[in-house]
């Protein structure tokens, strides 16, 4: 059957003047989808398991697999030495000056010796340079991950004399190894998509609330207090209670030093840093200056002995001896490790995508899982906590001029000097100075609280996810905050899926355009034809909503008419055809196909044809695959467009009359 389409005005611009005299003419047959597929040689996707594996897993292509798994072999041979080397060197030096204070501070945050933070900026980074696909992310310590690891260290490490004999280092390295195993499993099964459950809203609330947890953990060092060890739920509330009880015992010199360093670092970040940013890309290393200054003052005045100010103590030289994690502890730390693995990968991948978009290159999300897994596995043998990309260091590494991971190699070289020779110079560093560095660095995370207004304005569901995640994390614990956020996110998705957009379409006169009649008053309903548009998934959860909306919008329930043993009365709208517009149908499952099959039969009983149109290829394939199992009353009549279905219905009506 052929048709000469309605004449549609085509607006043409000639010499800047609108010309509406041109006419668009289209002449082609009316197609059903199967006819169009045959004409255009449509190739159905292979359902052969080996074919799917060969397509999705490069293990069947050894050379490609090898180069994809070791990305450094791709970019290093083509490294532009003259163009990028100096930028990478300056970037590496700058990032190294940030690694030192961050490492010492966040090592303590994990309830481990400060030197552990320096280890984290050296061993895992070397591995990430080989396997990572991001050219700019700075792998190493990250406050939230160190805090989460520190919580597990407190829970499972023991004081001398207890029955359980796991040291803090053993617990930390076991967590790191378990995280690497989880990330490797996610890599092998292409499960990076799991982290999409951690939406931007959820991560924003979680990191904001976690920043408050980090601040509370620093009270003891900022005030020079000895607080009781708190494990389990409501730790932040207990910490405030303990601080309130012991505030009178605060060490005055420690409080004074904390106030001075917090004020100086904050003033630098708020006033001096923006001024320097307009003149140079290299930031003033205020954290390193603070550590050097604090160490010098402590050494000259011997404030630990004279004023009872706590210092970090012994800092070992040399590289740590490799040691195996405590494998017997893995079942106990498995849940905590899974949460850390999720947060670690989500943060790293988010930063990698942000920088890659700025610099116009691609990062491989699955390869990033492999790189993090290998980095954590290697680090677990050298006293490291789980590593993550740092926002501040990543932005500096990219902003100063770093072009590749050579910058990370330069940074590692400088940290190696610290590990071999310079480390002991920091033995007199007051712990309150490190606490000041941590607290000031968390300002941006704490101010994320202000983003609640944005999320609430844009979406009440996003605002609800943010509020529940934030307050559960603050009041109960980080693990429960993450869990509650994921649950509320899933509930919001389910509820919104039940509120799919539906409407009845009408035709714009003299066109093949079909629009929502409630919104477009110029659209007209075709006599005897109801066109129902559905947007969203059609599955076991939404099928009842789909059916309810279909009957409501089209104005009649075929089954109730059939039960009344009549077709239509004079008061009811005559309808000979119902067209289901599935151009916006995102997914259909067997339950959805079954309800369509049932509807088709109900419509046939009352003399109404049901046509389907606009299916995407996956939806069309699912319909064809499932319909053979549901009834034997014929197949669905499927068209590629609404207009094809309308013309076919009109031709059938003309033929019968």
More confident residue, 160 or 425: 425
One domain for residues 226 and 303: yes
Distance CA 427, CA 605 (A): 87
Which region among 244-248, 385-389, 509-513 has the lowest average model confidence (pLDDT)? 509-513
Of these ranges, 10-19, 272-281, 370-379, the one predicted with the greatest mean pLDDT is 370-379
**pLDDT of 45:** 67
**pLDDT of 601:** 87
3-state secondary structure of 283: coil
The CATH number that applies at residue 553 is: 3.30.750.24
One domain for residues 248 and 318: yes
More confident residue, 473 or 13: 473
One domain for residues 471 and 549: no
pLDDT digits (tens, 9 = 90+) for 202-224: 999 999 999 999 999 999 999 99
One domain for residues 479 and 449: yes
Is 183 part of a structural domain of the chain? yes
One domain for residues 466 and 609: no
Q: pLDDT grade, residue 563 (50/70/90)?
A: low
Residue 617, pLDDT above cutoff 80: yes
* Angle formed at CA 160 by CA 154 and CA 161, multiple of 5 degrees: 120
Question: Which of 493, 519, 542 delimits the end of a domain?
Answer: 493
One domain for residues 514 and 482: no
Residue 614, pLDDT above cutoff 80: yes
Q: What are the CB-based long-range contacts (under 8 Å, 24+) for 192-200?
A: 192/345, 192/349, 192/365, 192/366, 192/368, 192/369, 194/342, 195/342, 195/345, 195/346, 195/349, 197/486, 197/489, 197/490, 198/342, 198/343, 198/346, 198/482, 198/485, 198/486, 199/462, 199/465, 199/489
**pLDDT of 568:** 45
Residue 197, pLDDT above cutoff 80: no
Tell me how far CA of residue 637 lies from CA of 22, 222, 580, 627, in angstroms. Answer: 35, 73, 11, 12
The H or E element that residue 19 is part of is strand 17-19
> Contact at 8 Å (CB) between 22 and 12?
yes
Q: pLDDT grade, residue 229 (50/70/90)?
A: confident
pLDDT digits (tens, 9 = 90+) for 373-416: 999 999 999 999 999 999 889 988 888 888 899 999 999 999 99
Q: Tell me the mean pLDDT in the region 120-131.
A: 96
Which region among 49-63, 100-114, 143-157, 553-567 has the lowest average model confidence (pLDDT)? 49-63
Distance CA 491, CA 486 (A): 9
Question: Residue 100 phi/psi, 5° resolution?
Answer: -65, -55
Question: Which of 462, 493, 524 delimits the end of a domain?
Answer: 493
| Predicted TM-score (pTM) of this structure | 0.81
**pLDDT of 26:** 65
Which region among 224-233, 285-294, 516-525 has the lowest average model confidence (pLDDT)? 224-233
Is 145 part of a structural domain of the chain? yes
**pLDDT of 295:** 95
**pLDDT of 561:** 66
Cα torsion angle, 141, 142, 148, 150, sign:
positive
One domain for residues 512 and 486: no
One domain for residues 482 and 538: no
Q: pLDDT grade, residue 328 (50/70/90)?
A: very high
Q: Tell me the mean pLDDT in the region 521-527.
A: 91
> Contact at 8 Å (CB) between 395 and 434?
no
**pLDDT of 23:** 56
The proportion of the chain whose per-residue pLDDT surpasses 90, expressed as a percent, equals 59
One domain for residues 573 and 445: no
Q: Closest Cα to residue 461, out of 506, 504, 497, 420?
A: 497
**pLDDT of 279:** 82
Tell me how far CA of residue 213 lies from CA of 114, 236, 501, in angstroms. Answer: 19, 6, 42
Is 44 part of a structural domain of the chain? no
Cα torsion angle, 61, 64, 69, 73, sign:
positive
DSSP secondary-structure letter at 509? T
Q: Tell me the mean pLDDT in the region 487-513.
A: 87
More confident residue, 536 or 197: 536
One domain for residues 209 and 160: yes
Q: pLDDT grade, residue 562 (50/70/90)?
A: low
Residue 467 exposure: Cα atoms within 13 Å on the Cβ side:
10
Is 520 part of a structural domain of the chain? yes
Question: Residue 465 phi/psi, 5° resolution?
Answer: -60, -45
**pLDDT of 246:** 92
Q: Tell me the mean pLDDT in the region 501-523.
A: 91
Distance CA 109, CA 212 (A): 13
Range of the structural domain that residue 618 is part of = 501-656
**pLDDT of 160:** 53
Name the one residue in this structure whose structure tokens are 């197949």: 635
**pLDDT of 321:** 93
**pLDDT of 301:** 94
Distance CA 101, CA 400 (A): 19
Is 58 part of a structural domain of the chain? no
Is 285 part of a structural domain of the chain? yes
Cα 563–chain centre separation: 51
Q: pLDDT grade, residue 19 (50/70/90)?
A: low
Q: Tell me the mean pLDDT in the region 485-496.
A: 88
Residue 167, pLDDT above cutoff 70: yes
Q: How many of the other CB atoms lie within 10 Å of CB of 188?
A: 13
**pLDDT of 13:** 46
The H or E element that residue 143 is part of is helix 143-156
**pLDDT of 12:** 47
**pLDDT of 540:** 86
Q: Tell me the mean pLDDT in the region 62-77.
A: 85
> Contact at 8 Å (CB) between 228 and 242?
yes
**pLDDT of 117:** 95
More confident residue, 518 or 632: 518
β-pairing verdict for 577-588 and 529-538? parallel
DSSP secondary-structure letter at 320? P
β-sheet bridge partners, residue 516: 505
One domain for residues 283 and 324: yes
Is 91 part of a structural domain of the chain? yes
Provide the number of structural domains found in the chain. 3
Q: pLDDT grade, residue 162 (50/70/90)?
A: very low
> Contact at 8 Å (CB) between 265 and 437?
yes
Distance CA 460, CA 453 (A): 10
Is 53 part of a structural domain of the chain? no
Question: Which of 493, 513, 546 delimits the end of a domain?
Answer: 493
Name the one residue in this structure whose structure tokens are 């943010």: 466
Q: pLDDT grade, residue 41 (50/70/90)?
A: confident
Q: pLDDT grade, residue 1 (50/70/90)?
A: very low
Q: pLDDT grade, residue 5 (50/70/90)?
A: very low
DSSP secondary-structure letter at 7? P
Q: Tell me the mean pLDDT in the region 9-24.
A: 49
> Contact at 8 Å (CB) between 143 and 214?
yes
Q: pLDDT grade, residue 195 (50/70/90)?
A: confident
**pLDDT of 11:** 43
Tell me how far CA of residue 471 lies from CA of 152, 208, 454, 513, in angstroms. Answer: 21, 10, 17, 49
pLDDT digits (tens, 9 = 90+) for 44-56: 665 555 555 555 5
Which region among 26-40, 416-430, 433-447, 580-594 has the lowest average model confidence (pLDDT)? 26-40
Work out the mean pLDDT of the chain and round it to a whole number.
86
Spatial CB neighbours of 64, under 8 Å, sequence gap ≥ 6: 58
One domain for residues 527 and 415: no
């Amino acid at each position: 059957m052929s048709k000469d389409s309605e004449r549609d005005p085509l607006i043409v611009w000639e010499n800047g003047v609108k010309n509406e005299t041109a006419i668009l003419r289209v002449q082609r047959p009316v197609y059903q989808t199967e006819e169009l597929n045959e004409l255009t040689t449509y190739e159905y996707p292979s359902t052969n398991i080996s074919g799917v594996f060969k397509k999705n897993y490069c293990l069947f292509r050894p050379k490609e697999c090898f180069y994809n798994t070791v990305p450094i072999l791709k970019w290093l041979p083509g490294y532009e030495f003259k163009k990028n080397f100096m930028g990478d060197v300056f970037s590496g030096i700058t990032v190294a000056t940030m690694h030192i204070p961050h490492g010492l501070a966040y090592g303590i945050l994990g309830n481990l010796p400060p030197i552990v933070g320096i280890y984290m900026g050296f061993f895992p980074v070397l591995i990430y340079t080989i396997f990572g696909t991001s050219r700019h992310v700075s792998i190493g310590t990250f406050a939230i991950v160190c805090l989460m690891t520190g919580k597990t260290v407190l829970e499972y490490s023991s004081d001398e004399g207890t029955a359980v004999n796991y040291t803090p280092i053993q617990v930390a390295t076991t967590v790191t190894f378990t995280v690497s195993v989880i990330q490797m499993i996610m890599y092998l099964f292409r499960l990076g998509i799991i982290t999409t459950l951690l939406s931007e809203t959820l991560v924003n609330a979680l990191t904001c609330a976690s920043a408050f947890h980090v601040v509370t953990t620093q009270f003891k060092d900022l005030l020079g207090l000895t607080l009781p060890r708190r494990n389990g739920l409501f730790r932040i509330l207990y910490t405030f209670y303990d601080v309130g009880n012991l505030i009178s015992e605060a060490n005055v010199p420690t409080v004074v030093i904390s106030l001075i360093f917090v004020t100086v670092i904050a003033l630098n970040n708020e006033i001096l840093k923006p001024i320097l940013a307009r003149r140079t890309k290299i930031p003033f290393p205020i954290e390193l200056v603070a550590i050097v200054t604090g160490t010098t003052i402590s050494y000259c005045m011997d404030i630990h002995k004279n004023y009872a100010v706590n210092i970090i103590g012994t800092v070992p030289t040399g590289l740590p001896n490799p040691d195996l994690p405590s494998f017997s502890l893995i079942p106990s730390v498995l849940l905590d490790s899974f949460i850390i693995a999720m947060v670690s990968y989500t943060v790293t991948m988010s930063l990698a995508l942000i920088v890659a978009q700025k610099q116009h290159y691609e990062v491989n999300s699955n390869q990033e899982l492999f790189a993090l897994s290998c980095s954590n596995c290697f680090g677990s043998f050298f006293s490291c906590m789980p590593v993550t990309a740092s926002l501040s260091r990543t932005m500096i590494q990219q902003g100063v001029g770093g072009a590749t991971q050579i910058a990370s190699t330069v940074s590692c070289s400088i940290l190696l000097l610290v590990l071999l020779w310079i480390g002991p110079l920091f033995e007199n560093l007051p712990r309150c100075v490190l606490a000041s560095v941590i607290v000031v660095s968390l300002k941006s995370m704490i101010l994320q609280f202000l983003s609640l207004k944005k999320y609430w304005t844009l979406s009440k569901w996003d605002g609800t996810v943010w509020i529940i995640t934030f307050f559960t994390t603050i009041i109960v614990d980080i693990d429960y905050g993450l869990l509650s956020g994921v649950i509320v996110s899933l509930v919001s998705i389910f509820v919104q899926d039940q509120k799919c957009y539906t409407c009845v379409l009408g035709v714009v006169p003299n066109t093949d355009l079909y629009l929502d009649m409630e919104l477009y008053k110029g659209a007209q309903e075709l006599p005897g034809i109801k066109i129902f548009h559905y947007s969203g998934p059609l599955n076991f959860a939404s099928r009842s909503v789909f059916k309810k909306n279909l009957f409501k919008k089209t104005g009649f329930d075929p089954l109730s008419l059939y039960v009344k043993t009549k077709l239509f009365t004079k008061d009811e709208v005559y309808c000979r055809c119902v067209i289901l517009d599935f151009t916006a149908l995102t997914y259909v499952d067997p339950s959805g196909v079954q309800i369509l099959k049932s509807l088709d039969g109900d419509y046939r009983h009352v003399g109404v044809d049901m046509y389907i149109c606009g299916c995407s290829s996956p939806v069309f394939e699912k319909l064809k695959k499932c319909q053979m199992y549901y009834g034997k009353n014929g197949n669905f009549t499927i068209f590629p467009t609404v207009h094809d279905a309308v013309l076919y219905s009109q031709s059938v009506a003309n033929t019968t009359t």
